[in-house]
Amino acid sequence: MIKIQTLVKKFDKRTAVNGLNLEIEQGEIFGLLGPNGAGKTTTIRMLTMLTKPTSGDILINGLHIGRDDEKIKALIGVVPQHINLDQDLTVGENLELHGRLHHMSESQRKTRTMELLEYVELTERAYDRVQSLSGGMKRRLLIARALMHQPKILLLDEPTVALDPQVRRRLWDLIRRMHNDHITVLLTTHYIEEAENLCNRVAIMEKGKLIALDTPVSLCQHVGAYVVEWEGDIGRKYNFFTAREQAADFAGTLDTTTMIRHSNLEDVFVELTGRKVIG
C-alpha cells in the first residue's frame, strides 16, 4: 500500500531522513516511533507532498509521489502534528471547507459532515466555533476533516500529543474503529505506550534511520521477553531473558532487591540505542 524506497531528505547540511526503506500493508495500524528530531514529521510531510524528497521514491497504491500527486491526494487523509483548523469557523464549516477543496458536491458534503460528526462524537458542537473546543475535541475534528473525502489511508502525526490519558484512550478507540473500517493507518508517536497498545507493527526511528521494525511483541522478544531490574552501583541495571524461570534464577543470585517484569518497547529502545528515555 505504501512503499518507501531509500528516502532521503536533507535541509542544508542536516539530514532529517537518511535512506529510509519501509513497506506498510493495507489495513495495518503502523507506528513510526522515535524521539524528537528522529525524522518522523519530515517523513509524513514527504508522504503528504508538503515537502519534496532530496532523493528516493514513495509509492502509494502503485502511484508515484512526484508524478501522480493529484490521484494520491484523493487516497490519503492527513492529521498534522499542529492543529491547523480554522479557529473562527464552526466545526461544521471546517469540514465543509475541506469537502470543497476536494471537489465534493454540496449534498455529498452535507451527508458526510453529519456522518463524521456522529463518528467522532461532535454532533452537538456542529455550530460552535472551533476556538471553543477542548484539545481532545480539536483532535477528533482533525480526524473527521482528514476522513471527509473518504481516503483509504490516514496519516497521523503525533495524534495524541499533550492530551491527558483518558482523552488519549478515547482517540485510540477512534483509531481502532477506523482500522475496523479497513482504513490503513500510519501514525507517528514518541509515546511508547501508544505504539505498544495501538499498532500492529512498529518501526523505531532514530536520526533519520530505522533501527528496528516488527510487531511490538516480537520486538520485545528480540531483546528478551523478561527483564530483571535492580539498583546497581551506578544506576539501574537490566538483564533480559527469554523465560521467566531463567529470570527468576538470575534474580536469585543477586544480593539485592530485584523486580521481574515483562519487557516493553522502552527496553527495546534503550537496548538498541543506549539512550535512556525516548521523550
- Site residues (CB under 5 A) for Mg ion? 40-41
Q: 68: which 3 cell numbers?
A: 501522480
Query: Minimum distance between the CB of residue 50 and ligand ADP, rounded to whole angstroms?
Result: 10
CB 99 within 8 A of CB 112: yes
Q: Rounded to whole angstroms, how far apart are CA atoms 268 and 49?
A: 32
Query: Footprint of ligand ADP on this chain (CB under 6 A)?
Result: 11, 14, 16, 34, 36-42
Between 202 and 228, name the residue whose CB sits nearer to ligand ADP: 202
Q: Rounded to whole angstroms, how far apart are CA atoms 227 and 242?
A: 9
Between 94 and 188, name the residue whose CB sits nearer to Mg ion: 188
> Residue 47: which region, alpha, beta or left (left: phi > 0; alpha: psi -120 to 50)?
alpha
Between 210 and 251, name the residue whose CB sits nearer to Mg ion: 210
Residue 112 near which of ligand ADP, Mg ion, none (CB within 5-8 Å, type-dependent): none
Residue 242 near which of Mg ion, ligand ADP, none (CB within 5-8 Å, type-dependent): none
Q: Which amino acid, one-letter code, is at 250?
A: F
Query: Minimum distance between the CB of residue 39 and ligand ADP, rounded to whole angstroms?
Result: 4
Query: Minimum distance between the CB of residue 245 and ligand ADP, rounded to whole angstroms?
Result: 39
Q: 128: which 3 cell numbers?
A: 460552535
Query: Minimum distance between the CB of residue 201 and ligand ADP, rounded to whole angstroms?
Result: 18
Q: Rounded to whole angstroms, how far apart are CA atoms 215 and 203?
A: 9
Collect all residues with Cβ–Cβ distance below 8 Å to 250 and sequence separation of at least 6.
228, 239, 241
Q: Rounded to whole angstroms, how far apart are CA atoms 224 and 93?
A: 51
Residue 14 near which of Mg ion, ligand ADP, none (CB within 5-8 Å, type-dependent): ligand ADP
Residue 38 near which of ligand ADP, Mg ion, none (CB within 5-8 Å, type-dependent): ligand ADP
* Strands 63-64 vs 226-232: parallel, antiparallel or unpaired: unpaired
Q: 71: which 3 cell numbers?
A: 490521484
Query: Minimum distance between the CB of residue 196 and Mg ion, rounded to whole angstroms?
Result: 19
**Closest residue to Mg ion in the complex (CB):** 41
Sign of CA dihedral 154, 139, 216, 278: positive
Residue 42 near which of ligand ADP, Mg ion, none (CB within 5-8 Å, type-dependent): ligand ADP
Query: Minimum distance between the CB of residue 73 and ligand ADP, rounded to whole angstroms?
Result: 21
Between 50 and 259, name the residue whose CB sits nearer to ligand ADP: 50
